[in-house]
Structure 1
Amino acid sequence: MPKGPGGTVVAAHDGRLVHCKGFGLADREKKVPARCDTAYDIMSITKQFTAAAIMKLELMGRLRVSDPISRYLGPVPAGKREITLHSLLTHTAGLDDDAIGGDDYEPVSRDGMLGIVLKSRLQSVPGAAFHYSNAGYSVLAAIVEKVSGVGYERFLARHLFAPAGMTRTGYVLPKWDRDQIAVEYDEDGRRKGRPNEHPWAADGPHWFLRGNGGVISTPRDMFRWHRALEGDRILSRQAKRRMFKPHVAVGVRNGFTFFYGYGWGITLAGGRRIIEHDGGNDWSFGEFARFPDRRAMVFWISNHAHRKGVWDLPEQNAELTLGIEARARD
């Protein structure tokens, strides 16, 4: 059986798709090659859609990011009354995913997830420190449903994906051709299946994954999302300015300062910004980076993030992404 990773790399500049090609196999058993229109689990890159949904609801006058979560979730424990949508968006709510527990595929409902999160201990007071939290974005997805009155995926499809021309992005609403979706493989090359072959609810992932990950998309659709973010059709200029603002410092690496916005990482590099987010699980990895000052974007993803010497995408990710900007400055 063929070995090695499969994946797709996309690059765009000045609104044009300049590269979109696959490498390796999307399905080793069937020898299906990875292509530009292969669909992948984009993992935590999903968070930018949740953040955009919150911003869209604010533009619609349905909420404000400064609102406390109690406005939408009802009474919350005393220590969590200071949690706002802003603190969830920026991972400063103090939520502790380890204390919350829960597996991505554990069959928990929306209200069940909310009950577990609200009862969990905090690792810092709300607003005090950055602690990356998947659960925080699941809470935001629940708020999207409660405020909009429709399902999380349906809201994304109607207000984000359709206006952007993204027809192959979502959980269960796209009519997926099974062979279009990449099979994932663990570090030993064992087949882990397609993302929607894992235990899901009828309308998508269970709630420890929903809103923070699990969206399936094609690289071509991610280019369409980039194009939509360059314009003002989906989000206003002011909304995007707030979404891409470096709200909270995360750290410094190789001379670059890292921040978090709303569903996006922000890197300041030589006076320019890199707006990016990666996503990974135990077998796949992807990165979506936008360079707004150069009107450029790169999206790359693999269905086999090897960790045994062949390659290690999580380890190489920052070097590759920052290296693009470094070469552009030279």
Structure 2
Amino acid sequence: MDPSIQSFLAGALPKGPGGTVVAAHNGRLVHCGGFGFADRERKIPARCDTVYDVMSITKQFTAAAIMKLEMAGKLQVTDRLSKFLGPIPADKREITLHHLLTHTAGLDDEEIGGDDYEPVSRDGMLRAALKSKLQSAPGAEFHYSNVGYSVLAAIVEKVSGVGYERYLREHLFAPSGMARTGYVLPRWERDQVAVEYDERGTPQGRPYEHPWAADGPYWYLRGNGGLLSTPRDMFRWHRALEGDRILSGRAKRKMFKPHVLVGVRNGDKFYYGYGWGVVRTGDGRRVLEHDGGNDWSFGEFARFTDHRVMVFWITNHAYRAGKWNLEEQNTELTLGIEKRARD
């Protein structure tokens, strides 16, 4: 573990939450270590290879699957939904894969309804999405939509002819060396998977101990969240994205392009690409990032491409006390880790 990063974390992190921090520079892992416990009751420490729910960071894998299918000539991001889903209601006929990827399709998660753990099938999710009322015309506005990425996961299945997780495993994870990433296909030992804790520190179980189907989460979560991975595997994904073996340069340029201006964060312009946020900093640097959060956990994955630095940190405790809120401290923590990894 890098002593400067370790020292920074010791002063920056509050007592209580558990988690893991990974940092890489120039393709080399410079820090990978845990803090606190992955399982408090059994005193299992958080480690580099602890398995966590990466939550909405899942979206970048769904986007990468779409780009992989485009590379194979199976689809184009300009294709409309009707090409894959048959007859489409009139208000949604102009929706393309690009709109889903950039959260500009107009789909409204609240209008569609449904909890992450509601036992809805793929076709049930699609029916709900297609009959819902749009928030805006396709392409007109940015509205972050989880169900839009579930629709993309369904399209991955329809086009590839295999299940969503299996497609990711065969075409993204295995070629990247990510043997410990997925929904149900990896064979984890139970003690390797982090228990999640709510704000009060009450254990909420492991991610797959919530209502799931036999092959993974139900379809209001599948494709937009819920993938399990390890910090070391996320480093391997970063390494894969630095090369062209998994995704071509053209595919990555599309995926990382700042397609839609979302707003300004911490004084920097924040755009959305395909499954990634794209930040243009005041000093001209580009940062590719996506966070993920639920009522129990929070994580951040950031790639500082100008300096070839990657930071991934995740906690299994929705910690908020006094001045501390790990979600609100995200930028401070991430930039602090990045600076020390680069130095």
Task: Give the TM-score normalised by structure 1.
Answer: 0.97
Deviation of the 1:319 alpha carbon: 3.5
Query: Within the alignment, does 1:318 sit opposite 2:331 as a pair?
Result: yes
Deviation of the 1:7 alpha carbon: 0.1
Secondary structure in structure 2 of the residue aligned to 1:75:
coil
Q: 1:272 to 1:325 in 2, by over 3 A?
A: farther
Aligned residue for 1:73? 85
Query: Within the alignment, does 1:263 sit opposite 2:270 as a pair?
Result: no
Deviation of the 1:327 alpha carbon: 8.8
Deviations, residues 255-296 of structure 1 (Å, cap 9, x unaligned): 200000000000001211000000000010000000111111
Deviations, residues 178-226 of structure 1 (Å, cap 9, x unaligned): 0000000000010100001111000000000000000000000000000
Secondary structure in structure 1 of the residue aligned to 2:152:
helix
Aligned residue for 1:148? 160
Deviations, residues 119-139 of structure 1 (Å, cap 9, x unaligned): 111010000010000000000
The root-mean-square deviation of aligned C-alpha atoms, in Å, is: 1.6
Aligned length: 328
Query: Within the alignment, does 1:26 sit opposite 2:38 as a pair?
Result: yes
Deviations, residues 139-178 of structure 1 (Å, cap 9, x unaligned): 0000000000000000000000000000000000000110
Aligned residue for 2:309? 296
CA distance in 1, matches of 2:342, 2:82: 46
Give the partner amino acid of 2:288. I
CA distance in 1, matches of 2:225, 2:323: 26
Give the partner amino acid of 2:316. N
**Identity percentage of aligned residues:** 79
1:178-193 paired onto structure 2 within 5 Å:
178-193=190-205
Structure 1: state its 5+ residue gaps. Answer: none
Give the partner amino acid of 1:8. T
Aligned residue for 1:175? 187
Give the partner amino acid of 1:272. R
1:31-42 paired onto structure 2 within 5 Å:
31-42=43-54
CA distance in 1, matches of 2:54, 2:34: 15
CA distance in 1, matches of 2:192, 2:270: 35
Aligned residue for 1:88? 100
Secondary structure in structure 2 of the residue aligned to 1:293:
coil
Aligned residue for 1:164? 176
1:1-330 paired onto structure 2 within 5 Å:
4-269=16-281, 270-309=283-322, 311-322=324-335
Task: Give the TM-score normalised by structure 2.
Answer: 0.93
